[in-house]
A = this chain, B = another copy of it.
């Protein structure tokens, strides 16, 4: 069974629609991807017809009422691929597609939560801090590790904690207001996380906290709070969006850094060289 979406329905009977109905239909077609955002009254107002006409149009298109259209529009909204009906979901391919769709949604959400300048501020902080300490435990550790490596491309004095056999306290003891800590705090945080965040705050060290929504309660201890979803259709959380955020942060820090450092050229060049570097012959 193929789902016939509203755009197709309009195309199918555009000719039989009355002039005013066509006007409304035009507007709908022009805002298909946004449709869920408008209600029927607005549709009427924005397309310059009466509410009555919109109401009639929906009927004509085979919908029971405007609520049905709304519902339909929301189903459309999660587009990304005009994936087949839900029936096919049993098999492998759509399981993978669902996975990818979830990732894309995570990316979108990550972006929205970060694009209002937070990312830039955090980048600047990291770029200009005297010393940067990156902390991540358990599932957050690979992210911390990766961020540290990337930051090292454009600045020095970036350390990773905790180093085995040394407490974080020791790392922290050397930091002050002119330094910065990047703390990853994704779900399944180790015990002591709150104390750690608090200790950082008390020492007056600017803190960039990167975590999923479960860490909101700690966000007040951070000077910069970057929320990143890790939702997944599988039993494991997915850190793809987080990985993407790490890239953004490292990139941003490099960009911000170069403005105020004489190492600018060297930094950029070396990073780009890395990119283009030919494989070493073995």
Contact = CB atoms under 8 A, between A and B. Distances in A.
A194 interface: yes
A234 B220 contact: no
A235 interface: yes
A4 B116 CA distance: 8
A216 B29 contact: yes
Contact of A100 (B26, B37, B108, B279): B108
B15 A220 contact: yes
Interface in A192-242: 192-195, 213-214, 216-217, 219-220, 225, 227, 229, 232, 234-242
A76 interface: yes
Nearest to A31: B109
Contacts of A26: 213, 216
Contacts of A63: none
A142 B139 contact: no
Contacts of A108: 33, 80, 100
A2 interface: yes
Contacts of A44: none
A111 B97 contact: yes
B219 A14 contact: yes
Interface string A19-39: 000000010011011101100
B189 A279 contact: yes
A247 interface: yes
B76 A96 contact: no
A116 B216 contact: no
Interface string A112-128: 11111111100000000
Contact of A37 (B74, B114, B194): B74
A129 interface: no
A216 B279 CA distance: 12
Interface stretch (A45-53, A54-62, A170-178, A270-278): A270-278
A107 B104 contact: yes
A79 B112 contact: yes
Nearest to A150: B236
Contact of A30 (B115, B142, B213, B240): B213
A127 to B, nearest CB: 14
26 contacts: A5-B116, A7-B116, A8-B116, A14-B220, A29-B113, A29-B216, A30-B109, A36-B36, A37-B37, A79-B111, A80-B108, A96-B248, A99-B244, A100-B111, A103-B107, A191-B282, A192-B282, A234-B247, A234-B248, A234-B250, A235-B272, A235-B275, A237-B247, A240-B240, A240-B247, A243-B243
